[in-house]
Amino acid sequence: MAKTDSASPERVAAFRTGLSAESRAAALLIAKGYRILAKRFRTPYGEIDLVARRRSLIVFVEVKARPSLDDAAYAVTPRQQQRIINAAQAWLMAHPEHAEFDLRFDAVLIAPRSLPRHLLAAFDASP
């Protein structure tokens, strides 16, 4: 079977949902006084949906869109957390000017007919 360049309709829909969720999450963070430093920062270890800054704090944000806020919360798995932590280390190496900042890992949960939920310190990088 030949590989084609066209993605399935389901993948296209998921991609669009993700972009929309990330835009909503970024708007929420901006409204709370954060400045978005990066969107969809890709590394060999994984991707960080949003990198934001407020004063001397750098926040790595995982955005999850699911049918319910609870489903979104459960979608941030330990394996995924480790990928985000590894990607955050890569971001910090690429941006040494932020090395002395405080760091935090947040999540923004998105669900239909619900306000986005910002979970501060959703997980941490401690071993």
pLDDT confidence band for 20 (50 / 70 / 90): confident
At 31, give phi and psi (nearest 5°).
-65, -25
Check if the beta carbon of residue 51 is closer than 8 Å to that of residue 38: yes
Q: For residue 81, give its domain range.
A: 9-123
- 92 versus 125: the higher-pLDDT residue is 92
Q: If you search the block for the tokens 């929309």, which residue do you land on?
A: 20
The pLDDT tens digits of the residues spanning 54-80 come to: 999 999 999 999 999 999 999 999 999
Asked, for residue 74, whether it belongs to a domain, the answer is yes
Burial of residue 82 (CB within 10 Å: 0-12, 13-18, 19+) is middle
Asked, for residue 43, whether it belongs to a domain, the answer is yes
Asked, for residue 2, whether it belongs to a domain, the answer is no
pLDDT at 8: 76
pLDDT confidence band for 1 (50 / 70 / 90): very low
Check if the beta carbon of residue 123 is closer than 8 Å to that of residue 81: yes
Kindly give, in sequence order, each residue whose CB lies less than 8 Å from that of residue 82, ignoring residues fewer than 6 positions away: none
**DSSP SS3 for 120:** strand
Asked, for residue 1, whether it belongs to a domain, the answer is no
Number of independent structural domains in the chain = 1
Asked, for residue 3, whether it belongs to a domain, the answer is no
Asked, for residue 4, whether it belongs to a domain, the answer is no
- For residue 56, give the CATH number of its domain: 3.40.1350.10
pLDDT at 99: 86
The pTM of this model reads: 0.86
